[in-house]
Structure formats: structure tokens, C-alpha cells
Structure 1
Amino acid sequence: MSLLLSGCYYAHVARGQSELVLRQRSVETVVADPVTDRKLASRLALSQQARRFASRELGLPDNRSYTRYVDLHRPYVVWNVFATPRYSVEAVRHCFPVAGCVAYRGYFDETKARAEAVRLKTGGDDVYVGGVSAYSTLGWFADPILSSMLRWDDDELAGTIFHELAHQLIYVKDDSAFNESFASFVQEQGLREWRESRGLPAQDGEAQAMDDAFTRLVLDLRDRLKKLYASGGDEAIMETGKQREIADFRQRYEVWRDQGWPKRHRYDAWVAAPINNARLLPFGLYDQWKPAFAALFHQADAQWPAFYAEVRQLGQLPKSQRDQALKRLAGETDIAHRGG
């Protein structure tokens, strides 16, 4: 049964990727087409400016990725299915020949993703399904601009191009935190330089500060649940403790929001929706090592080629040594922030 499910899954992924390849059109062709909506043409033209900047100024791959366009006619390109055991915060991992082991399975069809979620939930796992607007094939295909990416503002569109191209440049198998933190740093630093090149002021940091603070709040819940599950006890004790921790988190969130962000309610809906272990998995994945990469960029005198060379060296280390090196770098950033 496991082999059958794996075979069906790979066939589904192959079909989904093939459809994207077959439906691509050159961005230049779409922009020049007189029937193209002018707003769409303007956004696509901006994407090409960001694409050229990525290679010319950030040292990211100069290839056909993000020079073609696909209208998906759906809100997301894939839906990721996350799962954990009912009393664990560790992901049910899935391993693939190229990408290595990751904490989710992606589906091009939402119905198939929901069906997989039902199967896992029936087996006793906690499950979460999240839509994804963009992803990288790590250079195996020329990744296109997707209509799902154009729902974002200009900064998010440009930053995502930087992020996904960074995955094509450097990717370490079986280390999602390293890969996503690296790409997220490139995205944020690249966006700073992109805005500066266009004569735009620095981004307002309040939204990012709120995002970071909320992530810490969620990670605290995950740590509390991890300690609960490690403490032992029968299923009834675990379930009671789990629901108590989630209820306490909601109360802490209200205090945190009202004291620090009284006019912002962007996370209210997320907190009000059902929460389980799997829903916590994406948090922290994209920024765990960002301070370490910021320190490495500073050590490289803000020179992208030197920075990438250092990142590649880190990627070649055994994971335990790599994590220790990243912790040291992150610690140096903390000292710098404290003025030490």
C-alpha cells in the first residue's frame, strides 16, 4: 500500500509540474499582447526588473527562471500537507530523491491534499493543510512567475523571486531550517538593496516586528507542548494538557496584542481557528538561522560572492557541526545588538 501511494503521488507531481511547463508563456509576450490587462502587464514588467536585479546585483542564478508566466486559475500553485503524531511536535517527514527529507507533502490539487489530510487524520495524526503561492524546483526547471504570486504587493513579489532563486543557488539536503533561513535572509537583504536602487525609503519595520514577535509566541507554545509530551502520562492526561496549553496560548495572545499591538488584528483569525501540533510546524522554519546569516553577511563585508562562498562551506559540514557554527554566528549577532 505504501509503495502504491508513493507511486500515485509521484505521478501526480509529475503531471502537475508538466502542466506548468506546458502552460508557460514568455513574460515579454504577455506584456506585449494587446489583450493583456494593463495592471497585469505592469506587475509582470516589474517582476522582470526584479529578476534582472537579482542576477546583476545579488549574484543569483542568471537563467530562464521567472522570465515566463503561468495563469493558474486557482489561488495557490500547491497545497502542503503537514502532519505530526497526536502527542508530538515533530513532523512526519517525507523524503524525495532531489529535495531530501522535508516536513510536508505538496499537492497541485487541493482535493488530493485534503484527501491525504483525511487519511492521516484517520490514522491518528494531527494535520494541517496550507496553500503555497510559489516554490522552487531547485533549478531542474525554469520556474515561472505564477498568477498566485501577483496577489502580493511589489515588495513581496520581488522578494519572493530573490528567495526562490536563492534556493537554486544553494540548497542542502535534509536541512529545511538552513535552506529556508538562508533564502529568507537573501530575500530581506536583497529587498533592502532593491528598494534603495529604486530610490525608495526603507520598509516600515513595524509589520516585520509584529510578525517576529508572533512567531516567538507560537514557538513558545510549541516548546510548552514539547515539554508536556515528554513528561509522560496516559492519553487522557496528554489530551487535557494539550487543550489547556492551547487555551492558555489564546489568552497570552490577547494580552500580547492588546498591550503591544492594540490596533492590529492580523493574527486574530489564525488564533481563533482550530490549533494542533501540525499547524505549528511552519513557524520558525523560515527564520531560525536568519541572525546567523546576517552575521555571516557582515563578516563578508556585505559582498555577495564572499557571503555565498561562506554559506557553501557551512552547507558542506555535517549537520551537527553546521548547527553549532550557526549558533555561534547567531550569538555574535545577539552580542552586537546588545552593544557588547
Structure 2
Amino acid sequence: MGLVLCACSSLRYYAQAAHGQGELVTHRRAVSAVLRDPATDPKLAVRLQLAQKARRFASERLGLPDNRSYTGYVDLHRPYVVWNVFAAPPFSVEALPQCFPIAGCVAYRGWFKEADAKADAARLQARGDDVWIGGVPAYSTLGWFADPILSSMLDWDDDELDSTIFHELAHQLIYVKDDTAFNESFATFVQTEGLREWRKSRGLLPQDDHAEAMDDGFTQLVLDLRERLKTLYASGMAESAMAEGKQREIAAFRTRYAQWRDRKWPNEHGYDAWVAQPINNARLLPFGLYDQWTPAFAMLFQRAGQQWPAFYAQVRMLARQPADARDKELQRLLDGRKAVQ
């Protein structure tokens, strides 16, 4: 019976995914048509025009795929395109993997309707898992479809919108099944370096690194909490004692956060709401996924003479290696990066 129920659940999941992707295809309009439409909001037109220039830059200067992705537009009439459900056991900081035929195993499962995501989260929570739901403004189909610019992406500023296009196209270029940290770190490096070159090409000054420095500091605080919890869960103590220890570690994290904020960023309160909300293992999972190996890819880019074709060739060589060998090489690059800083 369990296998039958699992199969039915999987069928429902794939059916909603197919329906959701189908709706995007159905409602996609060519950006050129949107720009010609006299009813188009002038502010939207300006943003789409700049995004199209960034799209051309991505292919012509960054060596990213030259296809129909991000040449279309979809007005979603909702804040996110999908809602990702993260889940972890109550005494583990490792994600319950979600595996798919094309993308392989990732740390979450995406739903096109928030109600479906909440139902999935409730099911996992009922069996005792920690869960968290995160709304996602953009995602990549890895080139299987012509991914459009989504209205949910327009809540970002131009830099975030344009660099996200670079990020998602990087996934289309190189993607390794079952290695989220590799894929996201690679795409994040392309996003960051691509944005730097994109701004320079337009005569703009480099971005202020204030926000990035604060983001990095907060991420390190969260990763430290995750490591402390990992040590606790490996201690072998009784579950009741681990449950109490878990809450003590989370409370101590909130104290460390307040001290860090007041010492380094006394006028910044952007993370206060996140810290005040309930924290569990699942809520910690996204941290580190997007940038674990990013400095290693930066080192690889330097060794490739900052030439995109040579860089991508080296990344592809890494991608073909077994997972253990790939991680060892990335760690070696990471250590080398730290040594020269």
C-alpha cells in the first residue's frame, strides 16, 4: 500500500509540474510583442528593454547559451512562480532528497500553487519532519523550455534581474545531476562576475559591497548554527535531550545574531524578521547551497586567464569527475583562494 500511495503522490506531483509549466508556455508573450503593444506600461517597457540587452550580453560576452530563453515575458499575477518545500528529519541538518529524472536529486520540491506546497509541507510535518516553504521568483528548466522573464522577477532591481538571467543561463550551460552545491555555486559565480562585466560595459561603477558583506556575515552565522546542531545530533544522546539542546542552540544563535548586528551593522535590521520567526533544520538548508564553492570557481576563472571559454572548459572537466574527486578539487581551489587573500 505504501508503494502505491507513493506512486500516486509522485503522479500528482508530476501532473501539477506539467500543468504549471504548460501555463507558462501558454501565457508567454515575446518581449518584442510586449514592447510594441501600446497598452504596455512604459516602466515595464524600459525594464524589459534593458533585460534584453543583458540577454544579448550574456551570449555575446559571457559565452552563455544563445536561445529563446528570456526573450519572452509572462505576467503571473502572483508573487512567486513556484514554492519550494524543504524538509529534514528532526535531528539532522541534511535535506530529505527529492529526486527527478532530469534534474537528479535536489534539496527541495517545487509546487506551482502555494496551497499544494502547504499541503505537502503538512504531510511531511505530520510524520515528524522539520519543514520550510520558500517562494521562488525564478527558476530554470535547464534548456528544455524557453524560460521567460516572469513578472515575479520584476520585484528586483535591474542588477538582480539581469544577473539572475546570467545565473539561470549558466544552469543551461553546465549542470551536474545530484550536486546542488556545485551547480548553484557555479551559477552564482557566473551571476556575480557577469554582473561586474555587464556594469563595466555600461560605464557604471562597481557595486557597493556593503550588502554583500552583510549577507556573507549573516550566512556564516547560520552555517555556524548548522554545524553546532550537526555536532549535537551526532552526540548519541537521548532524543528528549537533543530536542532541548536544539532549542538552546537556536536561542544562542539569536543572541549571537543580535551581538553581531549591534557590533558591525548597528543601523541594519534587514534580518531581524527572519531571526524572529521559528527556526528549524529545514529553514537552514538553503544557506550555503548557492555559494559553498563560489570562491573556488573564482580561483578557476583566474587560472583560465579570465577567459570564459577556457573557464567553461575547466568547469566541464570538473563536472565529468566522480563526486568525491570533484569535491576534493574544489576544496583544493578553495584553499588556494584563501591562501592568496
User: Which TM-score bucket, shorter chain as reference?
Assistant: over 0.9
* Alignment correspondent of 2:79: 75
For the residue of structure 1 that corresponds to 2:67, the secondary structure is coil
Q: Give the AA of the match of 2:185.
A: S
What are the Cα deviations for residues 262-289 of structure 1, in whole angstroms up to 9, with x where unaligned?
A: 0111100000000000000000000000
CA distance in 2, matches of 1:321, 1:54: 30
Is residue 17 from structure 1 mapped to residue 21 from structure 2 by the alignment? yes
The alpha carbon displacement at 1:218 in A equals 0.1
Is residue 63 from structure 1 mapped to residue 67 from structure 2 by the alignment? yes
CA distance in 2, matches of 1:235, 1:313: 44
Q: 2:170 aligns with which of 166, 170, 188?
A: 166
CA distance in 2, matches of 1:121, 1:232: 23
* 1:94-243 superposed matches below 5 A: 94-243=98-247
Query: Where do 5+ consecutive residues of structure 2 fail to align?
Result: none
CA distance in 1, matches of 2:319, 2:241: 42
Compute the RMSD of aligned alpha carbons. 0.4
Q: Structure 2 length normalisation: TM-score?
A: 0.98
CA distance in 2, matches of 1:133, 1:49: 21
* Alignment correspondent of 1:280: 284
What are the Cα deviations for residues 289-325 of structure 1, in whole angstroms up to 9, with x where unaligned?
A: 0110000000000000000000000000000000000
Q: Give the AA of the match of 2:96.
A: V
The alpha carbon displacement at 1:208 in A equals 0.2
Q: 2:255 aligns with which of 251, 260, 264?
A: 251
* Alignment correspondent of 1:38: 42
The alpha carbon displacement at 1:235 in A equals 1.8
The alpha carbon displacement at 1:236 in A equals 1.2
Q: Give the AA of the match of 1:248.
A: A
Tell me which stretches of 4 or more aligned residues in structure 1 moved more than 2 Å: none
For the residue of structure 2 that corresponds to 1:58, the secondary structure is coil
Identity among equivalent pairs (%): 69
For the residue of structure 1 that corresponds to 2:330, the secondary structure is helix
For the residue of structure 1 that corresponds to 2:61, the secondary structure is helix
CA distance in 2, matches of 1:262, 1:232: 39
Q: Give the AA of the match of 1:133.
A: P
CA distance in 2, matches of 1:267, 1:20: 33
CA distance in 2, matches of 1:323, 1:166: 20
Q: Give the AA of the match of 1:204.
A: D
Q: Give the AA of the match of 2:323.
A: K
The alpha carbon displacement at 1:216 in A equals 0.5
The alpha carbon displacement at 1:234 in A equals 1.6
Is residue 303 from structure 1 mapped to residue 307 from structure 2 by the alignment? yes
What are the Cα deviations for residues 96-146 of structure 1, in whole angstroms up to 9, with x where unaligned?
A: 000000010000000000000001000100000000000000000000000
